[in-house]
Amino acid sequence: MEFGVDEAGKGPVLGSMFAAAIRASRAELPDGIGDSKRLTMQRREDLAARLRENPNVEIGVAEITPEQIDAGNMNELVVSAHAKAADAVVQAGDAGLCDAGDVDADRFGSRVEARISTSVAVDAVHRADESDALVGAASIIAKSEREAHVDSLRDRFGEIGSGYPSDQTTRAFLSRYFGEHGEFPSPTRRSWATCDSIRASAEQTDFGDF
């Protein structure tokens, strides 16, 4: 059997990264599978629901928390996430494809393969989420898991934006929270440069007030 793996949420300053693996016959995949970034939210969630509801589609998910990200190396963590997601569904003799998370796609595939506890063959290709339906399906699930996670953070903290450093709503939330509490909320990747700039800005403000 074949499987595909992809991750979502590598770049945000807020929240976890998620990887997903899809193990299925390609005939079981719904029409319209593609890179999740190119789909509307409604279309992506519809496809994610159809994948989850199909008993012939096996799904593995791995979450990498902000704490793990701050303590680790992102290249290693992406490899680990792909391997953990795949490990949840693969069987001996399977062959899989990952969306390469390394400039050297072959190296990435080899590293993921070495981390999976079952004997499988793993290849990796850049932008495989756009060219391979199984990886595209994994991309949809990973993005859906990430969005559900962000929704849970909104329930806790209010409007936080997308969680990405380029999102001004996210930056405003973090700046406000840091100003009120003197620290960042627990789901923050505190090692990100975004946090350094917010700290520096707060320190300048405090010095000016003094």
Binding residues for a divalent metal cation: 6-7, 99
- Residues of the binding site: 6-7, 99
Residue 155: how many other CB atoms lie within 10 Å: 8
